[in-house]
Amino acid sequence: MKFDEKKNRRVTYSDIAQALGISKMTVSYSLRNDPRISEATRLRVQKKAAEMNYQPDPMLSALSAYRHESQTKGTKAALAWINFNKHPEQLREQKVFQLYWEGAGDAARTLGFNLEEFRWKELPLHRMHSIFKARGIRGIALAPTPQNEAPTPAELQAFPWKDYAVVRFGQSLPSLKTNFISSAQVSNTIMAFERIREKGYRRIGFAGEYSRRHLFSAGYLWAQQALPRSRRLTPLFFSEEDANQQQHMLADWMKQQKPDAVICGTRHLLQSLEKTGYRIPADLGLASMSKYDNPINAGIDQNPEEIGRTAIHALVSQLNENTFGIPTTQKEILVEGRWVDGSMLPTRK
């Protein structure tokens, strides 16, 4: 906390208000980036506060946030969960995304909000905006969205995001540079690699779909640096163009790399391996990067409920700080997963 050197006391809202000839309330709102104050006034107040070496009292800031949260709980305000999927009912048929929803809903209730789903297929964005304004909804969580089902960048940019606090799940909707919450894919893959080594496997491979939204392979490549070069395996990547060639690619890769365990970055790998003639786990141990919606029972639990809870806590924090719109600097919050043993990856002596 800095002090006014001349007066040997803290610089207050009243000092800034007197210097600018405005009310103390206007200063308070401006320093909290409240949209009720014009941008020009906010910038003028913030500039003067910096010139006067003003810094907020952390105890008063905590009290203000507590009062805001208490008032919000009393009104049971809503938060919006926007589902952009073309078949919106299918989103939560996937267990991992259902757990996102459950964790998010639990956190919202704890913080005094209702979490409500809005479906883009049924309600265009401009209609959502009208409803949100009428109902005082200021916080939006953007549900996971397949890349080929997302609105176009132009459609997204037409929405007035500046009026809302926004978070998104994972790296979907990449044209919207909002803060996002995701599983810690790199560290989760390193964890999986180390657990598999502890179980006695020595040639650990990775096979999965290549996507800029998935960083499992980055964790795998980093984990391999702890091994001698002779035991580092080349990962196998599939793309959409390889759909008709995956079985052949997998068979060739298995013969070349000769893994005794594989970290699976795609849910279809078990079926493909069995078609190729491999017996699991007699011939090969398998671990998945997501235990949900996947027949492979060993690997990483990405902790989806905690991802949902974390997203809502981040969203409400933005509301309490009056942080609206697309941020200048995008922030990532990564949630660590946990290892789960399974019969498809028994310990080898």
Q: Is residue 174 pLDDT above 60, yes or no?
A: yes
The more confidently predicted of residues 316 and 49 is 316
CA 330 to chain centre: 12
Specify the pLDDT at position 285: 96
DSSP letters, 88-99, are: HHHHTTSHHHHH
What average pLDDT score do residues 160-186 get?
94
| End-to-end Cα, the chain, rounded Å | 60
Integer Cα distance of 86 and 93 in angstroms:
14
CB 235 within 8 A of CB 217: yes
Class of domain 76-183+305-337: alpha beta
Q: What is the pLDDT of residues 274-284, one digit of tens each?
A: 888 899 999 99
Class of domain 185-302: alpha beta
Specify the pLDDT at position 101: 96
Q: Is residue 105 pLDDT above 90, yes or no?
A: yes
Half-sphere CA count of 99, side-chain side, radius 13 A: 14
- The dihedral built from the CA positions of residue 185, 220, 188 and 93, taken in this order, carries a sign that is positive
Specify the pLDDT at position 72: 46
Q: What does the domain layout of the chain look like in residue ranges?
A: 3-56, 76-183+305-337, 185-302
Specify the pLDDT at position 150: 85
Sequence-distant (≥ 6) Cβ neighbours of residue 186 within 8 angstroms = 215, 216, 218, 219, 222
What average pLDDT score do residues 235-262 get?
86
Specify the pLDDT at position 5: 46
Q: Is residue 110 pLDDT above 50, yes or no?
A: yes
Q: What are phi and psi of 160, to 5 degrees?
A: -80, 75
CB 166 within 8 A of CB 178: yes
Specify the pLDDT at position 1: 41
CB 27 within 8 A of CB 17: yes
Q: Is residue 240 pLDDT above 70, yes or no?
A: no
- Specify the pairing of strand 78-83 against strand 114-119: parallel
Share of the chain above pLDDT 90, in %: 57
Integer Cα distance of 252 and 247 in angstroms:
9
Specify the pLDDT at position 4: 44
Q: Which fold has domain 3-56?
A: 434 Repressor (Amino-terminal Domain) (1.10.260)
Share of the chain above pLDDT 70, in %: 89
DSSP helix/strand/coil, 23: coil
Q: Is residue 315 pLDDT above 60, yes or no?
A: yes
Q: What is the pLDDT of residues 36-91, one digit of tens each?
A: 777 788 888 888 888 888 877 655 554 555 555 555 444 468 999 999 999 999 89
Q: Any bridge partners for residue 333, and if so which?
A: 181
Closest to 78 in 3D by CA, of 157, 3, 154, 131: 131
Q: Is residue 341 pLDDT above 60, yes or no?
A: yes
Token pair of 26, please?
């206007």
Q: What is the pLDDT of residues 195-230, one digit of tens each?
A: 999 999 999 999 988 776 788 999 999 999 989 998
DSSP helix/strand/coil, 173: coil
CB 202 within 8 A of CB 231: yes
pLDDT band at 242 (very low <50, low <70, confident <90, very high): low
Running DSSP on this structure, what letter comes out for residue 234? P
Specify the pLDDT at position 74: 45
Q: What is the pLDDT of residues 319-330, one digit of tens each?
A: 998 899 999 999
Specify the pLDDT at position 329: 93
- Name which of 4-18, 174-188, 310-324 the model is least confident about: 4-18
Burial class (CB in 10 A: 0-12, 13-18, 19+), 40: exposed
Specify the pLDDT at position 65: 53
Element (H, E) at 101: helix 95-110
Same fold, 3-56 and 76-183+305-337: no
Specify the pLDDT at position 103: 96
What average pLDDT score do residues 291-298 get?
91
Q: What are phi and psi of 265, to 5 degrees?
A: -100, 15
The more confidently predicted of residues 345 and 15 is 345
